[in-house]
């Protein structure tokens, strides 16, 4: 839970969400036990909705951890979808692959291990959707890398863009400064139509318009 909306409203949102299947439910339990950050089911559903309404098939995920958000993206992309998973931890990648197989989406996902900001250069072509959830000090670098790689009409989506409300205060750390700069960049770009949705920890959704 984060301090973006009242705790009562946030509890209400989570209380009405449909139950997840066993693969996602196990990932949620594992993430809680190990204190691994995942987007959670409310944002997962938002990601799936964005994929479905945009028709995104070619997706690059920057910072995938154990692959929770990857599954939401891959399921929404459907047959013919292609999601590129990235994470710096080989252990996370191995665990994610096991979850992908349980969820029935392994054939739609390409696993890349290393720095997502560099790895995007190894995959040619344009993307329909790029999801950004890397280390927060890297967010400005993600903006500069991702924007040229999006097709016109494609979506740039970023998690944690309200950062538990810390973006509204003077930054004293690299992570907060990185998110503040990313938010400034998306709203000042003539190529994007952005909006920040105050769901969970803040989700930026930007459509490339030119």
Q: Where are the chain's structural domains?
A: 7-208
Which pLDDT score is estimated for 4?
A: 82
Q: Which of 82, 73, 60, 91 is nearest to 24 (CA)?
A: 73
Which pLDDT score is estimated for 1?
A: 55
Instruction: Return per-residue pLDDT of the chain as tens, 210 residues.
Output: 566 888 899 999 999 999 999 999 999 999 999 999 999 999 999 999 999 999 999 999 999 999 999 999 999 999 999 999 999 999 999 999 999 999 999 999 999 999 999 999 999 999 999 999 999 999 999 999 999 999 999 999 999 999 999 999 999 999 999 999 999 999 999 999 999 999 999 999 999 999
Q: Which of 82, 76, 130, 124 is nearest to 107 (CA)?
A: 82
Distance CA 102, CA 105 (A): 8
Q: Residue 127 is encoded by which pair of tokens?
A: 């993307």
- Three-state DSSP state, 107: helix
Which pLDDT score is estimated for 3?
A: 67
- Quote the Cα angle for 45-75-97, to 5°: 110
Which pLDDT score is estimated for 5?
A: 84
Taking the CA of residue 190 as centre, how many other CA atoms within 13 Å lie in the half-sphere pointing to its CB? 0
CATH 3.30.565.10 corresponds to the domain 7-208:
no
Q: Residue 126 is encoded by which pair of tokens?
A: 């344009």
Distances, alpha carbon 155 to alpha carbons 31, 41, 87, 110, 197, in Å: 27, 20, 21, 20, 14
% helix / strand / coil in the chain, to the nearest 5?
50, 20, 30
Distance CA 134, CA 145 (A): 13
């Amino acid at each position: 839970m984060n301090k973006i909306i009242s705790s009562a409203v946030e509890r209400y949102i989570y209380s009405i969400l449909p139950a997840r299947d066993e693969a996602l439910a196990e990932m949620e339990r594992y993430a809680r036990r190990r204190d691994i950050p995942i987007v959670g089911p409310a944002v997962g559903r938002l990601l799936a909705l964005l994929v479905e309404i945009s028709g995104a098939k070619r997706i690059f995920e920057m910072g995938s951890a154990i692959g929770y958000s990857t599954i939401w993206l891959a399921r929404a992309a459907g047959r013919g979808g292609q999601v590129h998973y990235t994470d710096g931890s080989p252990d996370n990648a191995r665990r994610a692959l096991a979850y992908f197989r349980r969820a029935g989406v392994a054939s739609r996902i390409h696993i890349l291990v290393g720095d997502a900001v560099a790895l995007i250069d190894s995959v040619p072509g344009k993307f329909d959707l790029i999801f950004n959830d890397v280390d927060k000090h890297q967010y400005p670098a993600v903006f500069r890398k991702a924007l040229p790689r999006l097709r016109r009409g494609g979506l740039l989506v970023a998690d944690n863009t309200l950062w538990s409300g810390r973006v509204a205060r003077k930054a004293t750390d690299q992570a907060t400064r990185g998110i503040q700069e990313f938010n400034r960049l998306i709203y000042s770009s003539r190529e994007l139509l952005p909006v920040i949705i105050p769901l969970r920890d803040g989700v930026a959704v930007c459509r490339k318009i030119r």
